[in-house]
Amino acid sequence: MIEAFFGEFLAHPVPLELSMNRCSHNCVFCFANLNQPTRKLDTKALYNQLRKLYDLDTIAARLMRERYPVCISNRVDPFAKSNYETTLPVLEILRGYNIPVMFQTRGGFGVKEALDIVEPSLWYISINQQDEELRKRLEPQSTTLESRYELIRAVTEQGHSVQVAINPMVPEWIPDPEKLIADCVEAGAESFILQSLHFSRDQVANIPERGREALGVETIKLALGGRQNEQFEDWYYRLEKAASDQLCHCGAPFDFPHEPFYANNFYKEVYDKVFPTVYDFLNRCYAAGPGIYSFSDWYNTMMPLLPAGYAGNMRSYIAVQRKRYADLAFSEQEMNPKAYMGYEDLLALWWNSEVLPRSPAHMLPFAIVTETLHTGDTVVVYDENDMPYYVFDPALLESPRIAVDLDEYEVAGIAAFYDQVAEAIEAEQPAEDNEPAS
């Protein structure tokens, strides 16, 4: 079934996903295979969904009818031997509906046929090693590294766009990060995403002995719980700089550490419609400069990028991956999790939350605005809609804080910034506006 990409709300700009059979690439670090080793697509249900697309009243059907793109796939490779025979006819059907797609892949079977079917799309191609022998140990049935560079060339020559995923990124697997970036750009890549290797305890328990030997004990330990060491950070910044030197964007919108920097809108260059991510708001704040931001700023940035006029039980957008976050979020805001919610309600939930990943409270340049009362108690400062204010200030990257007290926080720079804005606006006014009345 094609489903709403619930777990990636405000992280992934493509709001629909199709996952198929267990991926036969058999990468030893694959979260999806470790989570669900017997994954199998219900082909009959998928074709019924597509056949009845205009009769269904589901979130996924509505988004498809509005021509939002479908990610194929976050969990399995659509061109793995176990999936390509399903991928190709599904692409034909989606093309008939004029529903765009994006691919997350290492390449494999049926790529040439897919290129004959789909309109120019985004191809997220994974390259995370530089040694073919290592690749054979880590990804025993996947494609060769050289074939992935050939895939980049093939799809870009036909007008598609490529974002290389250095995912998972383990420094020992990339001895020369600058060369990796240069080789990808030479082949045609325009953007990069990095993500660290991370495992849950259940996933580690499911890693077969062959996988444990290939990964090594120390790598598994670092990945458990998503821990990152100094070497990871060093490699991250080296890759980021190498991409910048090649006039490409390199970021980690799904991971490292809350990705606090300005991010490009690469997906918006490919698709007419995508979902907003936290980077739409972050980019706006970087463009406007340091200051105090309200829920209205968040709402006016994000809501126009979401489909209007639909209300349903949106709890799934929060709970699908980590139920405990959903329970905490509803509890902290005293909300009924069974209430019908629209996207505007989700935006309010995220703005208010101190526990939901990808809320402003979790982004390093932001801090909740607080005030110290005469009693010595510290309280959050709320606007007229009972929503908290946030300070945005890149200086917080150097000394992150959960909250800032207006009586203690250095606001001189913010005041100076707004003075400059006011002067710029005044200077742009038509001359007659500045002339005294006769």
Q: What does the pLDDT read at residue 160? A: 97
Q: What does the pLDDT read at residue 305? A: 92
Task: Identify which of 75, 133, 135, 141 has the alpha carbon closest to the alpha carbon of residue 109.
Answer: 141
Q: What does the pLDDT read at residue 134? A: 96
Banded pLDDT at 428 (limits 50, 70, 90):
low
End-to-end alpha carbon distance in the chain: 71
CATH fold group of domain 2-269: TIM Barrel (3.20.20)
Q: pLDDT by residue (tens digit) across 64-114?
A: 999 999 999 888 999 999 999 999 999 999 999 999 999 999 999 999 999
**176 alpha-carbon distance from chain centroid:** 26
Distance CA 366, CA 377 (A): 22
Q: What does the pLDDT read at residue 344? A: 86
Is the predicted pLDDT of residue 403 greater than 70, yes or no? yes
Q: What are phi and psi of 305, to 5 degrees?
A: -95, 5
Task: Identify which of 304, 292, 387, 296 has the alpha carbon closest to the alpha carbon of residue 349.
Answer: 387
Q: What does the pLDDT read at residue 256? A: 43
Q: What does the pLDDT read at residue 51? A: 96
Q: pLDDT by residue (tens digit) across 180-215?
A: 999 999 999 998 988 888 888 889 999 999 999 999
Mean pLDDT of the chain: 85
Burial annotation 25-35 (CB, 10 A radius, 16+ → b, else e): bbbbbbbbbbe
Q: What does the pLDDT read at residue 257? A: 43
Q: What does the pLDDT read at residue 35? A: 86
Tokens 């990705």 sit on residue: 259
Which range is least confidently modeled, 226-235, 353-362, 413-422? 413-422
Most confident of 23-32, 151-160, 248-257: 151-160
Higher pLDDT, 435 or 30: 30
The domains of the chain are located at 2-269, 278-419
Contact call for residues 8 and 195 (beta carbons, < 8 A): no
* 43-51 and 84-96 helices, crossing angle to 10°: 10
CA angle (51, 54, 59) in 5-degree steps? 105
For residues 383-412, average pLDDT:
80
Contact call for residues 256 and 194 (beta carbons, < 8 A): yes
Higher pLDDT, 251 or 10: 10
Half-sphere exposure of 303 (CA within 13 A, CB side): 17
Q: What are phi and psi of 392, to 5 degrees?
A: -110, 125
Distance CA 107, CA 252 (A): 22
